[in-house]
Chains A and B, each alone.
Chain A
Amino acid sequence: MQDSSEQHETAPTTWTVDDVDVEFLPLIYEIIRSLEKDPHDNAQKSRDSLDTTQKILELQRKLEKAREQIRKLPGIEYNTEEQLKQLDVLRNQLRLKRELLHKYRNMCSFEIPKA
């Protein structure tokens, strides 16, 4: 994690969903199109083949990058229900702590243990 953050110094400190590039379909479509092309010219064929290989590699890179970026997204370690449950737990905790503080502050008598 640290290494990757050092590599991308310009990367935002908190990633959002908008930062994740998941536009795979156009690239896949382009690859299929270039595969389906059947040029008669051999030079053109080898050029297209090289181009297709590049695009496939690009797709792979894009998929890998999307995986990396998704792992950096905040708050998705749990699914929605669990997250909401956690939120509830936190709210409850805060309420209890506030109550405890209130109790402490309004305590007017001390119980002294009998020696």
Chain B
Amino acid sequence: MANISTVEKLISLIDDIELISKEILENTIAMKHQKLAGSEQVQLTELLVAKDNELKATLERAREQARVELKMDALRGEVERQDCHIRNLQRQLKEAEQILATAIYQARQKLASIAKANKRPVPSEDLIKFAHRISSSHAVCAPLTWQQGDPRRPYPTDIEMRQGLLGRLSNLPLVPQPGLADLSGLPPGAEPAVSTQNQFSWHPSGDLHMNVPGQGSVAMETRNHKTEAEDVEVMSTDSSSSSSSDSQ
């Protein structure tokens, strides 16, 4: 009985009032000999009044409960708001964790490469020398002013290909290129193959010039013999290709 809810109690009180009033009314219209004794009728009436009072008292309690319910509603709203905040914060924390995890992974990679570099240090002088060598000889791209016939080329040139591992694998004598064997021993800038090829150079006018020692450059008539000039170029590449085929 103590555990029934207020709404159930109110409904049961109304049921009781209905029953008692029905009883009283039936008693009122009953025949005289069937009527209840006066005391019983008084008891019934008292019971009805008591139930009515109880109903009103319970309604008062319900009023109080409605007030409490308002408070609970406010609390529920507040709890919901806090829930929302907590969810937001959790989401942000998760994002932060992800970002940090990525950063840590990258940092670890960096640390590993630092450790690797520390294990096998390369002197900065060597690096600069190598960089100079690459850039001074147009190793990565042709010079901006490059024109047809210009012997300056990006790496790897034929000579370097021969010097490389693949060239050495074939393990064949590199006879056809003079001065190739002692190329590595030469100081930078003194490249014999290039200097011989430099005999011919293209000028922006389109004329072919030949560098003759002691006489400077001599312009050659190429307008009528364009094919010849091209032959020269073709021949120069041909010679290297034929030599490479020779070496095989």
Among B25, B63, B86, B96, which residue has its beta carbon within 8 angstroms of that of A35? B25
Contact with A along B62-100 (1 / 0, CB 8 A): 111110111110011011001101100110010011001
Q: Give 12 A-B pairs besides A63-B17, A77-B7, A80-B64 with Cβ atoms closer than 8 angstroms.
A: A16-B63, A17-B60, A24-B21, A73-B66, A75-B70, A78-B5, A78-B6, A83-B68, A90-B75, A98-B82, A104-B89, A115-B105
B233 located at the interface, meaning its Cβ lies under 8 Å from any Cβ of chain A in the complex: no
Q: CA A58 – CA B85 in complex, angstroms?
A: 54
Residues of B with Cβ closer than 8 Å to A? 2-7, 9-11, 14, 17-18, 21, 24-25, 28-29, 48-49, 52, 55-56, 59-66, 68-72, 75-76, 78-79, 82-83, 85-86, 89-90, 93, 96-97, 100-101, 104-105, 108
Chain A interface helix/strand/loop/mixed: helix
Interface residues of A in 12-64 (CB under 8 A from B): 16-17, 20, 22, 24-25, 28, 31-32, 35-36, 56, 59-60, 63
A86 located at the interface, meaning its Cβ lies under 8 Å from any Cβ of chain B in the complex: yes
CB contacts (< 8 Å) of A74 on chain B: these are 66, 69
Total A-B residue contacts, Cβ distance less than 8 Å: 128
The 9 closest A-B pairs by CB, nearest first: A75-B69, A76-B6, A97-B82, A17-B63, A90-B75, A75-B65, A76-B7, A70-B10, A35-B28
A17 and B59 form a contact (CB under 8 A):
yes
Known: A28-B24, A59-B21. A75 touches B72 (CB 8 A): yes
Q: How far is the CB of A25 from chain B (nearest CB, A)?
A: 6
CB contacts (< 8 Å) of B29 on chain A: these are 35
